[in-house]
Structures are given as structure tokens and as C-alpha cells.
């Protein structure tokens, strides 16, 4: 694989804007304006600031991944997905654990929004396989799914592909197995990224940005190593540089 340019590397980074309110999030977004990275809006920010913060990020020309991990009955997920398509997000996710009918309903919801002229474009939809904070023992002993973590992840990835989703959220450690099972064009979005020497926090299945790119991951979700840095733009730049060396 040819080495990435700085611009290509930047367009693969999704910065997790895990901030408690719109002011804090938009301050951080301003510091990262023009870098070419995505913004990932998760529950903490969305539940506090609502759709307007997404509209503001879109107005500032960021691509937005809305990480709300929908998991409900198919009819509710269809309606929720239609609303997110209308909002104009570029990517959102649902839980693979919701099953085939639920994931298919998400695809139908966004198609309905486009057909009805409520949305300009179809957002990409991906499935959460297993959270990157889930360890093998949590999977087997608490969630009571038997077998190896990687098998559970690949199973959900195949189910997501059958439902018509474009990809999955997974640990970078699982990218090779997912691509092997679902094809190289099946998108992988990987949190659990930690530059060498960075604190793990609550993540348990982690990889460096350099290794994640080498494994073929499409998008790297990175939160605290950037957002908790004294200078987030500098931290992002260091990570992008590391990715181009892969």
C-alpha cells in the first residue's frame, strides 16, 4: 500500500467531540478547522446540545459522524434514521445486536427521507459490532456471548452487510478479519486508537494510529489523545504525520 499524503490521512481521522455543551465543542472545532478531519458527535454532546450543534458543524464544512448507536425496534429505528438523514449527517450507526430487521429498517429510513425529498444525500450507516471497551471476559461472562470476541465481531459485520449497511465500528485489531469476511470495500471505523505512550483510559482493545493504517482501517476515531491535549491541533497533526509514515 502506498503511503498516505497528509490530506488523505487527515480525511481518515474522526475527532470524538465528547464535550458537555455546544460552546466547548465548537471551541474545539474552531481549533481543528481546516485540518480536513471529521467531527464525531456522540451522546454526551448530542443529548446536551441537540441537532443545532450538528447543523453548525455542517455549516462549518465538517463531515459529521453522529454516534448515537441506535438500538430499538425496527419501526423506531426506521423513523430515527429518517430524522438523521433529514438532519444531513454524513454517517451514523446502529447496534448490530439489534438484528437484521432492525438494521434493514435503518437503511429503509434513510431511503425514505431521500425519496421524499427531505434529505439531499444518503448518509452512510454502519453497525456497532462489540464496543472497544468490551474484553473477552466481559463478552463471555457478563454479556453471555460464548466464543471468541473476533467471531462475534465478524458475525455482526456479515449481518450488517446482509442488511445493506456500508460498514462497521470495530477495534482496529479486527479489521483484517472483517475485510476478509466482508470484502475490502466494507468500511471499518475504528475507535480504541492510542498513540504510543498515551493513556488507555477505559479502552481495552487498542492500536497505534500507525498500526491501524497498516491494518487497512478506513477511519480512525480518536478522542482523548486529541481533545484532552494542551494543544489539540498539534496533537492531531502529530497523529496525521504518524499515519503518513505507514
Active site residues: 67, 69, 72
Binding site annotation covers 132? yes
Nearer to ligand C5P, 119 or 169 (CB): 169
Whether residue 124 is annotated as binding a ligand: the answer is no
Q: Compute the least distance from the CB of residue 118 to ligand C5P, in Å.
A: 27
Q: Is 67 annotated as a binding residue?
A: yes
CB of 47 to ligand C5P, least distance (A): 13
Of 110 and 173, nearer to ligand C5P (C-beta) is 173
For residues 37-73, one letter each, b for 16 or more C-beta atoms within 10 angstroms of the residue's C-beta and e for the rest, the string is bbbbbbeebbeebebebbeebbeeebbbbbbbbbbee
Residue 76 assigned ligand-binding role:
yes
Residues of this chain that bind ligand C5P (CB under 6 A): 16, 18, 42, 67, 128, 131-132, 169, 191, 201, 203, 221-224
For residues 57 and 64, the answer to whether their CB atoms sit within 8 Å is yes
**Smallest separation (angstroms) from ligand C5P to the CB of 205:** 9
| Residue nearest ligand C5P, CB atom distance | 223
Q: Which residues are annotated as a binding site for substrate?
A: 18, 40, 67-76, 132, 194, 203, 223-224
Q: Which residues are annotated as a binding site?
A: 18, 40, 67-76, 132, 194, 203, 223-224
Amino acid at each position: 500500500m502506498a503511503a498516505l499524503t497528509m490530506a488523505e490521512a487527515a480525511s481518515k481521522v474522526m475527532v470524538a467531540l465528547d464535550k458537555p455543551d455546544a460552546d466547548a465543542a465548537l471551541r474545539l472545532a474552531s481549533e481543528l478547522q481546516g485540518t480536513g478531519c471529521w467531527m464525531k458527535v456522540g451522546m454526551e454532546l448530542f443529548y446536551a446540545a441537540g441537532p443545532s450543534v450538528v447543523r453548525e458543524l455542517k455549516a462549518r464544512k465538517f463531515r459529521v459522524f453522529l454516534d448515537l448507536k441506535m438500538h430499538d425496534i425496527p419501526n423506531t429505528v426506521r423513523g430515527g434514521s429518517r430524522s438523521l438523514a433529514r438532519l444531513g449527517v454524513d454517517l451514523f450507526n446502529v447496534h448490530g445486536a439489534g438484528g437484521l430487521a432492525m438494521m434493514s429498517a435503518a437503511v429503509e429510513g434513510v431511503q425514505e427521507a431521500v425519496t421524499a425529498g427531505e434529505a439531499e444525500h444518503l448518509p452512510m450507516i454502519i453497525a456497532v459490532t462489540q464496543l472497544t471497551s468490551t474484553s473477552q471476559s466481559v463478552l463471555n461472562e457478563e454479556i453471555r456471548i460464548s466464543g471468541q470476541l473476533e467471531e462475534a465481531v465478524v458475525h455482526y459485520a456479515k449481518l450488517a452487510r446482509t442488511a445493506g449497511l456500508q460498514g462497521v465500528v470495530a477495534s482496529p485489531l479486527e479489521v483484517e478479519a472483517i475485510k476478509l469476511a466482508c470484502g475490502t470495500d466494507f468500511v471499518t471505523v475504528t475507535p480504541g486508537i492510542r498513540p504510543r505512550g498515551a493513556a488507555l483510559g477505559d479502552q481495552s482493545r487498542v492500536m497505534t494510529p500507525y498500526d491501524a493504517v497498516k491494518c487497512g482501517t478506513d477511519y480512525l476515531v480518536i478522542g482523548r489523545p486529541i481533545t484532552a491535549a494542551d494543544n489539540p491541533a498539534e496533537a492531531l497533526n502529530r497523529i496525521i504525520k504518524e499515519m503518513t509514515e505507514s
